[in-house]
Structure formats: structure tokens, C-alpha cells
Amino acid sequence: MARRRQLYEGKAKILFEGPEPGTLVQYFKDDATAGNGAKSGVITGKGVLNNRISEHLMLLLQDIGIPTHFIRRINMREQLVKEVEIIPLEVVVRNIAAGSIAKRFGIEEGTRLPRTIVEFYYKNDALNDPLVSEDHIIAFEWACPHDLEDMTSMAMRVNDFLCGLFSGIGIQLVDFKLEFGRSWEGDDMRIVLADEISPDNCRLWDNQTNEKLDKDRFRRDLGNVREAYQEVARRLGILPEA
């Protein structure tokens, strides 16, 4: 197969030019980083698992009417996606306190939050992805109020759906991060879910044991990272090739 032109290399994925205009190929690496690159490593087979898990979740979300960039999986490590203009925000949805919110407000990890919380972080490695308010987003024109409303309502719908899905397979959805992009068709623009949804960007805890089945196993040196991702794939009914 002809080599594809590489457009961007991130911490866990590479984007290549797609076969048709307006498409990209998203390649899932085995590389893992934490703390904005402070810690890095390789989790053999992670890319294959995340490609399958993200495909599965994006397709289910499309079925309930959430527009996504996902078109189809090409092979074990690649998927075809729509080219979108990524909005420079990380949208984090939290059901249970863990990670940065637990630290910031001194809440014990595992405490159920009084209501679901949606947070926005400005995507900027040099600034360490700072937490931002809706006013910052609008003032600095990272998104307009309408886009912000779309992202918030989609994030809440994704949360409702994924909470139910994971609860059915004995997993608590503690929190997760989404990214959105602008997709243009002629003059029409719509906001679509982009990036990936996988144990790299969700916190997933076993219902019975509270065992972590996500990237915190890597971040906190808990071991058995690949096994945890495999367990999520197995419970979702996905049989990965690797």
C-alpha cells in the first residue's frame, strides 16, 4: 500500500491524510504518556484495543444520534475518520470524584459527586491544559455560546448512555474526556464528537472491587495495564485480534 502522508503525531495517535478529500486515517499507537509527557512508556497491544473499543463506542453513540467523526475501522490499528477542525478544548465529564478534581477540592477519591460536573480545559501543552470557564471560552473565541451549548448537551447525553452501558457490564464510569470538532458540509457546520473514547481517556472502575480498569494503572504504576484494557474489551463483547 502507498505510504500515507503524515499530518500530525500526538502522544497516542498519528493522523494521516485519508484516501478521499475530507477524510483522515487515525492510527493508534502503543505509546502512553502521563502528566503532560512527564512519564512515558509503551503498553504493547494498547493501540489495537483502543482502536476496537473506540470503534465500538462511537458506533453505539452514532446509533443514538450523536454525530461523530468516525467512518469505519480499516485494520487493527487504523480507522477512517472525517477531517474536522478540532475545537481546542478538552471536555471532561465527572460522576465520581477522582484525579484532578479530588486533588483540587480535597475530596476523597471515590466520592459520588452531588451532580454530574462538566469541565472545560484549554488544549495547550505549553500551559499544561488549564481549566477554563465558559466566559474564557467565549471571550477568547475558542467556541461560541451555541457551540458550547452543543458540546455540553452532547457530553451529557454521552455520559447518560455510557453510564448505562458500562453499568450493564459491571463497570462504574467515574469520568471521561471528550474532544469535539467542527465538520463542514458546504456552508453548514456541525459539531461532531472526535478523537477517541477508550480506557486512555475514561476512568472505569469495577463495580464490585473498585479495581481500576483504565490508564490510571499506568499513571500510578499499578501494573497489568494491558490486561485491564483487555478486560474492558472483553466485557464490551469485543474480541480483539491481538
CB of 91 within 8 A of CB of 195?
Answer: no
* C-beta of 18 vs 159, nearer to ligand C5P: 159
Residue 177 sits in the site that holds ligand C5P (CB under 6 A): yes
Rounded to a whole number of angstroms, the minimum distance from the CB of residue 219 to ligand C5P is 8
Residue 205 sits in the site that holds ligand C5P (CB under 6 A): no
Q: Which residue is nearest to ligand C5P (CB)?
A: 99
| 183 phi and psi angles, rounded to 5 deg | -115, 125
How far is the C-alpha of 176 from the C-alpha of 57, rounded, in Å?
Answer: 13
Residues 70-89 interacting with ligand C5P (rule: CB under 6 A): none
Rounded to a whole number of angstroms, the minimum distance from the CB of residue 162 to ligand C5P is 12
CB of 167 within 8 A of CB of 207?
Answer: yes
Rounded to a whole number of angstroms, the minimum distance from the CB of residue 187 to ligand C5P is 33
Residue choice 55, 78, 90, 231 for contact with ligand C5P (CB under 6 A)? 90
Residue choice 203, 205, 231, 232 for contact with ligand C5P (CB under 6 A)? 203
The SS3 assignment for 131 reads strand
Residue choice 17, 30, 31, 129 for contact with ligand C5P (CB under 6 A)? 129
Tally the C-alpha atoms within 13 A of residue 217's C-alpha that lie toward its C-beta: 22
Residue 195 sits in the site that holds ligand C5P (CB under 6 A): no
DSSP 55: H
Give Cα 95 distance to the centre of its chain: 16
CB of 91 within 8 A of CB of 120?
Answer: yes
Binding site for ligand C5P (CB under 6 A): 90, 92, 98-101, 129, 175-177, 201-203, 215
